[in-house]
Amino acid sequence: MTEQKQQQDEQVQRFFSHHLLEWYHGQKRDLPWRRHRNPYYIWISEIMLQQTRVDTVIPYFNRFIDRFPTVEALADAPEEEVLKCWEGLGYYSRARNLQHAAKQVKELYGGQVPNDRDAVFALKGVGPYTAGAILSIAFNQPEPAVDGNVMRVLSRYFLLEDDIAKGSTRVKMERLAAVLIPEGEASHFNQALMELGALICTPKSPRCLPCPVMEHCAARLAGCETSLPVKTKAKPPRPEERLAALVEGRGGHAGRVLIRQRPSSGLLARMWELPHWLAPPAEGGAPGARPPEAAAQDRLRRSLRTAGISARPEGHWMAAEHTFSHIVWTLQVYRCREEAALPLAAESRAAYGAGAAGAAGAAGAAGAAGAAGAAGSAGAADAANAASPYLHAAAAAVQAATEQVEMFADGTETAEERGAIRWITREDMANYAFPNVFLKLLNHYFDEQEELARTSVSSK
């Protein structure tokens, strides 16, 4: 590189840093975590802002800080409460990691968020971006904080065509972002970069005219700002059809619906939901084949029974979707009615995932363990059915076990995991943390019930 070119590059960089900072001081938004330079607040806000818009985060942040004003308060809270405060924000492992890290900070640093690079990096759930954000924004240390927004701005201003999905590009951007930080201005400068990406240099329609760095923006000068940054597409999430049961109680459970708790690890760990299972494969449409609706209801009835829930599907209610980074659930929700035919340990643990081991165990207890083992083949099962009621029970248990193994074959649920079930009213919802899709379904259901009650009162 010639000396002249190097001088030009440095001038373009200085222009960027200077004008960006000037713009930020005049235009920055008044955000709750910007009112104090409290490292704990900044840390919470940065975790909440991952994959989530500022407008969505503000009320969550305010509630969270009200409820857990200090690192100690967060560390000492029951996990259920932390998840409840996070309910609706999604990516719930963020909340669990945050609480885990709060415990680390309480135990190792007396509740004070550390300002040491290695210590911040060692906190659970804190990656290079969040560490850079905490160190720069809260402690004014010259650390880069490079996320998707920042990579977009830098790609455009410097006309960088590297694929931002690659780790090597991130490292390159971090080096560049570090060089751009003016001395003593890390906190404001990093926030200014983020603010420009959020307000002006937006993904689809960058607003170049009011942009403070337009004059030297290489992508704008080349007319290619909307084709940057370069990013290879991630694999689309895998679709998964699931059958969900909205079980309405009767007798002592009248006016309540049944929810279950997810296993203690994996997807949406320990959160509450309507029971649901993988749907059977779509019918081939052969003449005389069962219609999909009947097959779905049959599978749901058997799944409920296998899980120890005595309920009968009464018809399709509605469909709903829940998207994760790697999977999309389409939930076909059926209204089901509790049946009193079988004695249930309804409010006890173990109703969720009464799987292969449990069913086989039940078969053994029925005095038909041998038959159950043999009933793995259809012929043995037939023989067992014919022999005695005990053997019939054994065959049913084995069939249930087989179904359960199928149901758990998606890897998100395992037969070993056990969870609780509860019968709840709308008021009880305040005590349980639900993923968004179930929160919406339950609210919708209770809204419908209230509307129905109002209509029936007014028509009397």
Please report, as ranges, the residues that interact with ligand SF4 according to CB under 6 A.
153, 156-157, 200-201, 206-208, 211, 213-214, 217, 219-220, 225
Is-contact 140 209, C-beta < 8 A? no
Determine which one of 3, 46, 185, 321 is catalytic: 46
The least CB distance from residue 224 to ligand SF4, in Å, is 9
Q: Return the C-alpha torsion angle 210, 216, 218, 223, nearest 10.
A: 50
Is-contact 42 34, C-beta < 8 A? no
Token pair recorded at residue 32: 């709750």
The least CB distance from residue 211 to ligand SF4, in Å, is 3
The Cα–Cα gap between 394 and 412 comes to: 27
Q: 230 or 369, CB closer to ligand SF4? A: 230
The Cα–Cα gap between 31 and 29 comes to: 6
Residue 26, C-beta contacts closer than 8 angstroms, at least 6 positions apart: none
The least CB distance from residue 306 to ligand SF4, in Å, is 56
The least CB distance from residue 216 to ligand SF4, in Å, is 9
Strand pairing report for 257-261 and 419-424: antiparallel
Q: 227 or 348, CB closer to ligand SF4? A: 227
The Cα–Cα gap between 123 and 94 comes to: 12
The least CB distance from residue 220 to ligand SF4, in Å, is 4
Q: 222 or 453, CB closer to ligand SF4? A: 222
The least CB distance from residue 176 to ligand SF4, in Å, is 14
- Is the four-CA dihedral 76, 81, 82, 85 of positive or negative sign? negative
The least CB distance from residue 198 to ligand SF4, in Å, is 12
Q: 154 or 375, CB closer to ligand SF4? A: 154
Is-contact 405 247, C-beta < 8 A? no
Residue 214, C-beta contacts closer than 8 angstroms, at least 6 positions apart: 208, 220
The Cα–Cα gap between 358 and 397 comes to: 9
The DSSP call for residue 225 is G
Q: 206 or 308, CB closer to ligand SF4? A: 206
Three-state DSSP at 111 gives coil
80 included as an active-site residue = no
The DSSP call for residue 134 is I
Q: 11 or 425, CB closer to ligand SF4? A: 11
Q: 9 or 283, CB closer to ligand SF4? A: 9
Three-state DSSP at 124 gives coil
The least CB distance from residue 225 to ligand SF4, in Å, is 4
**Other beta carbons less than 10 A from residue 391's beta carbon:** 24
Q: 26 or 285, CB closer to ligand SF4? A: 26
The least CB distance from residue 213 to ligand SF4, in Å, is 5
> According to the 3-state scheme, what is the secondary structure of 366-394?
CCCHHHHHHCCCHHHHHHHHHHCHHHHHH
The Cα–Cα gap between 174 and 452 comes to: 58
DSSP sequence for 283-341:
P---TTPPPHHHHHHHHHHHHHHHTT--EEEEEEEEEEEEE-SSEEEEEEEEEEEE--S
Token pair recorded at residue 355: 């799987």
Q: 149 or 169, CB closer to ligand SF4? A: 149
Residues with a known catalytic role: 46
